[in-house]
Amino acid sequence: MNFVTKTFKELNTTELYQILQIRSEVFVVEQDCVYQDIDFKDQKALHVLGLLNNKIIAYTRIFKAGDYFKNTSIGRVVVSKNKRSFGYGVDLMNASLKAIKDNFNTEVVTISAQVYLTKFYNSLGFYQIGDEYLEDGIPHIRMDRK
């Protein structure tokens, strides 16, 4: 898999369409969650694209400190359902952490993780902060990495 990091303005229309498609496929359809995905935060984010055969099969958006959380942050972490058994989630997170280091010169990161993925994020050095909460009807937990 090849990873590319782009600003919103650097995304072409095909890439933007693929990003919205994978986010909708997983967060809206697979997780049966109706929520406002198009939130006008994409314009502030850097977009980490995981490409396989020129198709986006993994994606995150990252924010500098203060644009979403107090710390730099990673959100909209997604891997296509049929590609999850290949370890691409770990590769995607490592690419996102590297993009944060390269672009924002920090390793301090906050995420709002779906609770069922806590062990996955623990394995990447994230730890729980505070209590569980609902975000769009799905249990989440804030996690930090320093």
pLDDT digits (tens, 9 = 90+) for 14-58: 999 999 999 999 999 999 888 889 999 999 999 999 999 999 999
Predicted pLDDT at 35: 87
pLDDT more than 90, % of the chain: 95
Quick one: which of 124, 138, 112 has its CA closest to 35? 138
Q: What is the C-alpha separation between 110 and 146, in angstroms, rounded? A: 9
The CATH number of 2-106 is which of 3.30.70.270, 2.30.29.30, 1.20.210.10, 3.40.630.30?
Answer: 3.40.630.30
Residue, of 33 and 65, whose pLDDT is higher:
65
Q: What is the C-alpha separation between 120 and 34, in angstroms, rounded? A: 25
- This prediction has a pTM of 0.95
Looking at residue 92, the DSSP 8-state letter turns out to be H
Radius of gyration of the chain (CA): 14
Q: Please give the average per-residue pLDDT across 136-146, as a whole number.
A: 96
Query: Is the pLDDT confidence value at 95 over 90?
Result: yes
Q: In sequence order, what are the residues at sequence separation of 6 or more whose Cβ sits closer than 8 angstroms to the Cβ of residue 9?
A: none
The three-class DSSP label of residue 79 is strand
Query: Domain locations in the chain?
Result: 2-106
pLDDT tens, residue by residue, 98-107: 999 999 999 9
